[in-house]
Structure 1
Amino acid sequence: MKMENRQSDSSKTEPYASRLREERVRVEPHQGKFCARIGISRNRQSFFENGEREMRSEYLELIARHGLDVSYILTGQRGGDRLDQRESMLLSMFRALDDISQCTILLSGMRMAPEGAVHFTPAAVVEQIVAAVQGVGGVGPAAAGTVHESQPEFKAERDV
């Protein structure tokens, strides 16, 4: 009986591996910290970054949830806006917060941002808070992707 060799031909995975490493360094320069955050061993991550293992869909989904641009890793083309390390850290923390905490951060950010830099109103954030308190839904992890008719759609866009 022939054992399946799970190692890949590194010539096929090399372009992906180098872009994976580039993306991981952009999000978290320390490989050990990155591995602890996503819950895999450092050896496994090294195998991926060295092209010794093929990345499967489960792994790609995992790293996408932690801010890596999977589109770029697979195609070499950037998908959408690229977040720098601080933006990625802020987004990860924001997503981990409950609805009311997220709304508090939005209100605080509105007060600190230069005039015209955000494109939603305090009233829209307050409506999100009311919806969260009433259990209608909101902007937090539990309601990700959920939009209710009673909730205004809003998103902050940075002026470039």
Structure 2
Amino acid sequence: MTISVRLKEERARLKLSQTDLGAVGGVGKTTQINYEKGVGSPDATYLAAVAQLGMDILYVVTGERKPTPTDSISADAAELLKAYECVSEDDRQVLLRMASAFAKVAGFG
């Protein structure tokens, strides 16, 4: 698979039109189409800009996915982390105090 194919795949994953992605990257629709055809390659400025949309630039350039914070933890821990990230800062502090209390009871703190 080539950079052009992966770029198109990531654009589709993000549900963006060629016009919209090109605009974020600072290029026109024709240039975006050409990138996706393998005619020319995006530069670092373009890649940095589209990365702000959540595009996996490592994947586009190398074919390897960017590791996520949950890759090295269990499914239960990943679910807990996702829930933690969805609550307010005050609630996060409550959750941290609760987890700390449970750890102490279990002999880990």
Per the normalisation by structure 2, the TM-score is 0.58
Q: Relative to structure 1, is the Cα distance of residues 62 and 121 closer, same or farther in structure 2, using a 3 angstrom cutoff?
A: closer
Q: 2:31 aligns with which of 24, 30, 44?
A: 44
Alignment of 1:7-156 (within 5 A): 15-81=2-68, 118-119=83-84, 125-126=89-90
The structure that is helix-richer by fraction is 2
CA distance in 1, matches of 2:86, 2:10: 34
Deviation at 1:28, TM superposition (A): 2.1
Identity of matched residues, %: 27
Per the alignment, residue 147 of structure 1 pairs with none
Amino acid at match of 1:79: K
Contact 1:24 1:34 in 2 (8 A): yes
CA distance in 2, matches of 1:121, 1:69: 22
CA distance in 2, matches of 1:120, 1:77: 26
Contact 1:28 1:34 in 2 (8 A): no
Contact 1:38 1:66 in 2 (8 A): no
CA distance in 1, matches of 2:47, 2:8: 13
Q: Relative to structure 1, is the Cα distance of residues 121 and 69 closer, same or farther in structure 2, using a 3 angstrom cutoff?
A: closer
Structure 1 unpaired stretches of 5+: 1-13, 82-115, 127-153, 155-160
Deviation at 1:43, TM superposition (A): 0.6
CA distance in 1, matches of 2:53, 2:86: 29
- RCO comparison, higher one (Cα < 8 Å, 6+): 2
Give the number of aligned pairs: 81
Deviation at 1:67, TM superposition (A): 1.3
Two-structure CA RMSD over aligned residues (Å): 3.1
Deviation at 1:120, TM superposition (A): 6.0
